[in-house]
């Protein structure tokens, strides 16, 4: 019995001051509209849909934005199949998306499909990541992404 009370006292002694902790966490967020600086923030669903109807064919490299808990990463992937009747795009690594760039499997909102414009492609090729709208770190590329980098650069050169 004494051991349980000692554990309770120890847990209370180590417990953080919750109001202070929440106050500090709220002030860590960037002020203003930080999402505007992210690559691809300007891409509308109509822009993505129109681009996929014109350029979406198997083998085309696209960028997938992974957003979770304030962290944004840009990943390379290629189109495996496009189904205009169902308005779906199937990628090799990241599954299926709607033509407007929305992820079609749960959890929704975590992944989004982006057109490989210059800023988005540069972020994916460099492996940059953003935390709460600010540049955070450079992540290593997967083996699959390293294989797609030359193809992505070649397709970007052909389009420009």
Following DSSP, what letter does each residue of the chain receive, concatenated? Answer: -HHHHHHHHHHHHH---HHHHHHHHHHHSPSS-GGGGSTTTT--HHHHHHHHHHH--TT-EEEEEEEETTEEEEEEEEEEEEETTTTEEEETTTEEEETTSBB-SSSTTSEEEE---HHHHHHHHHTEEEETTEEEEEPPPPHHHHHHHHHHHHHHHHH-
pLDDT band at residue 8 using 50, 70 and 90 as cut-offs: low
Q: Per residue in 47-100, pLDDT tens?
A: 999 999 999 899 999 999 999 888 999 999 999 999 989 999 999 999 899 999
* Average per-residue pLDDT for the chain: 82
- Global pTM? 0.74
């Amino acid at each position: 019995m004494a051991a349980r009370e000692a554990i309770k006292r120890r847990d209370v002694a180590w417990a953080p001051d919750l109001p202070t902790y929440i106050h500090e966490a709220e002030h860590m967020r960037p002020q203003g509209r930080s999402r505007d600086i992210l690559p691809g923030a300007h891409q509308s669903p109509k822009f993505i849909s129109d681009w996929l109807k014109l350029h979406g064919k198997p083998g085309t490299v696209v960028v997938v934005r992974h957003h979770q808990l304030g962290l944004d990463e840009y990943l390379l992937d290629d189109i495996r199949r496009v189904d205009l009747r169902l308005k779906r795009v199937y990628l090799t690594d990241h599954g299926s998306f709607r033509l407007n760039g929305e992820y079609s499997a749960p959890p929704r909102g975590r992944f989004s499909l982006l057109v490989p414009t210059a800023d988005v492609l540069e972020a994916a090729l460099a492996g940059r990541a953003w935390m709460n709208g600010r540049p955070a770190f450079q992540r290593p590329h997967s083996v699959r992404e390293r294989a797609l980098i030359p193809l992505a650069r070649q397709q970007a050169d052909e389009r420009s």
